[in-house]
Amino acid sequence: MNRIFVRTAFLGAALTVSMTLMTMRAELADDTIGDIARGNMVEISLSQVAVTRSQNEAVRQFAQMMVTDHTAAGNELQTLATSKNITLPTAMDQKHQSAMTKLGGESGSEFDRDYMKQMVNDHEKMLSLLQKEASSGTDADLKAFAAKTVPTVQSHLTAAHSLYDTIKGTSHSTGQTNMNSSGGTNMSSGSGNSSNSNRSSNRSNSNSNRRSNTNGNSNSNSNGNSNRPL
């Protein structure tokens, strides 16, 4: 009787542990799918703004690629979530909502720079999340999705880095040109020339004074010698 009781208790405990682990794995899968879906949504939303707002053709092409690729990934993720009775998030978090608002008030090179910087940061986080899931995920289907998506996100990140560096370089060069064409020129034509003129004037006055002193000494010696008895 005691053996039966112990065995039943043991089986009950094992079943409880197993169910707990399954629940934890399901929750982890839910969290991961939610994070991927939210990141996907952010990249689509920001890129839709860039397609219409950016004046840089390369940026618009990149943004359109983001909309196309992430929409396809989002549809696949939605199918996966539905099969597991998981509800995906439908709104961005507050941080990315603020980024969206900030970009909405920008234009020109400022918009391009901040949009590409956001793309670099978001793709770095997304790549890290997918790589972790692909290597150590507990849900086989989600793990397969992550492994399949990693190369695409890696190529997006490489393109984002390259374009962001180009935009930063252009902005930096423009700033240097403006500094040299205004500040440098003013320094040379204004206070610099004035200083040179003052130095030249001082040297002229000094030379005049020396010549005057020489004439004075000559006159003094001449008058003194003529008045001295022979």
The C-alpha atoms of residue 93 and residue 37 are separated, in whole angstroms, by 12
Q: Judge if pTM exceeds 0.75.
A: no
Residue 199 lies in a domain: no
The C-alpha atoms of residue 220 and residue 230 are separated, in whole angstroms, by 18
Residue 194 lies in a domain: no
Q: What is the CATH number of the domain that holds 101?
A: 1.20.1260.10
Give pLDDT tens digits for 51-108.
Answer: 999 999 999 999 999 999 999 999 999 999 999 999 998 888 888 888 889 998 999 9
Please tell me the predicted confidence (pLDDT) of residue 13. Answer: 52
Per-residue pLDDT of the chain (230 residues; tens, 9 = 90+): 666 666 666 565 555 444 433 343 444 456 889 999 999 999 999 999 999 999 999 999 999 999 999 999 999 999 999 999 999 988 888 888 888 899 989 999 999 999 999 999 999 999 999 999 999 999 999 999 999 999 999 999 999 999 999 998 765 554 444 444 444 434 334 444 444 444 544 455 545 555 544 444 444 444 444 444 33
Residue 10 lies in a domain: no
Number of domains the chain is built from: 1
Buried b (16+ CB within 10 A) or exposed e, 104-140: eeeeebebbbbbbebbbebbeebbebbeebbeebebe
Residue 119 lies in a domain: yes
DSSP assignment of 4-40: HHHHHHHHHHHHHHHHHHHHHHHHHHHHHHHHHHHHH
Segments forming the whole domain that contains residue 103:
26-170
CA 39 to chain centre: 17
Residue 211 lies in a domain: no
Q: Could you give the angle at the alpha carbon of 228 between the alpha carbons of 226 and 230, nearest 5°?
A: 100
Residue 187 lies in a domain: no
Residue 133 lies in a domain: yes
